[in-house]
Amino acid sequence: MKKVLIITYYWPPSGGAGVQRWLKFTKYLRNYDWEPVIYTPENPESPNNDSSLEKDIPKNLTVIKTKIWEPYNFYKVFIGLKKNQKVNAAFLTESKKPKKFEKIAVWIRGNFFIPDARKFWVKPSIKFLTNYLKQNQVDAVISTGPPHSMHLIAQGLKKKLNIPWMADFRDPWTNIDFYSKLMLTPFADHKHKRLELEVLNDADAVTCVGKTWLDELEEIYRKSKIGSNVGVSKFRFISNGYDPGDYSDEKVEMDKKFSLVYIGTLDKSRNPKILWKTLSGIVKKNSSFANDLQLQLVGKTDIAVTEDIEKNGLLPYLEKIPYLTHREVTQVQKKSQVLLLLINNTPNAMGITTGKLFEYFAAKRPILCIGPKGGDADKILAETKGGLISGYEDSQTLEANILHFYNKYKQGNLVCESTNIEKYSREELTGEVAEVLNEITRDPKS
């Protein structure tokens, strides 16, 4: 087998969405004649821990860990968090009272920690891995970001050892939804864009979870002097997906109520104000619907979301669950009547296809989506017939979609009708990863 070094910040026992993609690829890479070797921090600042994910780590896998220094302890003190509290991603706020000096802290974060707070791990990692790889050869290196500091580590190894390198983007860099909120100076903005372009140029292959985002990364590269005359594209789309192993045929008892369930972090950019308003209207004019409705939010929820739910009189229908393990999440998905897919209402919304979309397919429950028409998620839903979508301001279509599912629920035949989802299996997608690795390691003389 060939060997590939995978540089990832997120790895079990860390939980959350950032772990899933490369944990699952690692699980199946041996099926395609690639032996993975993991490099990850010994002491990361992870959003949650989930020991249930450790079952997916292949036996006898080599996992290399070194300590990382991050400025989060200073950051927490500065904004008034306790040492044991977690720093929320995506600018999510769970408290009505804003944290002390929060805006100043965001400015410091955006302008001094470039590309991110893990920047201090880059040089020590390059030094450590250079020595390690001289004694333990690998055939290729993969970096996965964010955090995009992981790409800078791989870039350093590429320059020192000339190892074929694949840079994988689970989210964009300068086109990520919160980039404008970092309050960047022109100097900091220029540095982010310069580093991003250097990564796109130096990597032998660039992969991304979404077609639209991949096109945007390629456009950045093509418009530059570096990439303007390049004929062969090294940009490859490798979708997010689901792991069939997480969804056994074990029967679950369906929710008795008409449950609308959202799973994951629900920040301000995903807050579906139109959903709360539309549900409130249906509740007021349909007593049967009001008796049957149940809202369930699983994961961290921004205070603005809860306030909007309360404002629309929906608190009596709401159940909030702060965190569940991935194993528990799959059970909730399978017993839900309808699964909510809420696409961030941000400039990069057209390219958003979250991992939960594909897990929803695997759970075999209908999907109610609010997001941009014509976006990547909309196209996948149309292709698979996995659910219904309405735009951010289209209350008429949203109400019709909700009532369509509700009427089927009342008739006892609310089922998922999705088709052609097999190509989104993590095992199938790992084959695409192996294809890219085979391409960048192929002897050009052969």
pLDDT at res. 229: 58
pLDDT at res. 418: 81
Q: How sure is the predictor about 98, in pLDDT bands with cuts at 50, 70 and 90? A: low
Across 123-152, average pLDDT: 97
pLDDT at 83 over 90: no
pLDDT at 249 over 80: no
Q: Which residue has the higher pLDDT, 90 or 245?
A: 245
Structurally, what CATH architecture does the domain formed by 244-422 represent?
3-Layer(aba) Sandwich (3.40)
The mean of the pLDDT values for the chain is 90
pTM of the model: 0.90
Q: Is 124 exposed, middle or buried (0-12, 13-18, 19+ CB in 10 A)?
A: middle
Q: How sure is the predictor about 94, in pLDDT bands with cuts at 50, 70 and 90? A: low
Sign of CA dihedral 173, 10, 264, 308: negative
H runs (alpha helix) in 203-227: 211-223
Q: How sure is the predictor about 416, in pLDDT bands with cuts at 50, 70 and 90? A: confident
pLDDT at 316 over 90: yes
pLDDT at 125 over 50: yes
424 neighbors 244 (Cβ within 8 angstroms): no
Q: Which residue has the higher pLDDT, 227 or 279?
A: 279
pLDDT at 428 over 70: yes
Comparing CA positions, the residue from 282, 355, 315 lying closest to residue 22 is 355
- Find where tokens 């970092």 sit: 182
pLDDT at 173 over 90: yes
- Could you tell me whether strands 367-370 and 235-237 are parallel, antiparallel, or unpaired per DSSP bridges? unpaired
Domain ranges of the chain: 2-241+426-441, 244-422
pLDDT at res. 92: 46
- pLDDT 10s digits, 340-356: 999 999 888 999 988 88
pLDDT at 214 over 60: yes
Please tell me the distance from the alpha carbon of residue 213 to that of residue 319, in angstroms, as a whole number.
Answer: 34
Please tell me the distance from the alpha carbon of residue 287 to that of residue 289, in angstroms, as a whole number.
Answer: 5
Comparing CA positions, the residue from 52, 4, 64 lying closest to residue 28 is 4
Please tell me the distance from the alpha carbon of residue 311 to that of residue 166, in angstroms, as a whole number.
Answer: 48
Q: How sure is the predictor about 89, in pLDDT bands with cuts at 50, 70 and 90? A: low
Across 320-329, average pLDDT: 88
Same topology, domains 2-241+426-441 and 244-422? Answer is: yes
E strands, 284-405, are 293-298, 318-321, 338-342, 367-370, 387-390
Structurally, what CATH architecture does the domain formed by 2-241+426-441 represent?
3-Layer(aba) Sandwich (3.40)
Q: Indicate the SS3 state at residue 425.
A: strand
Beta bridge partners, 142, equal 6, 166
**Residue 2 is encoded by which pair of tokens?**
């060939």
Q: How sure is the predictor about 87, in pLDDT bands with cuts at 50, 70 and 90? A: low
Q: How sure is the predictor about 409, in pLDDT bands with cuts at 50, 70 and 90? A: very high
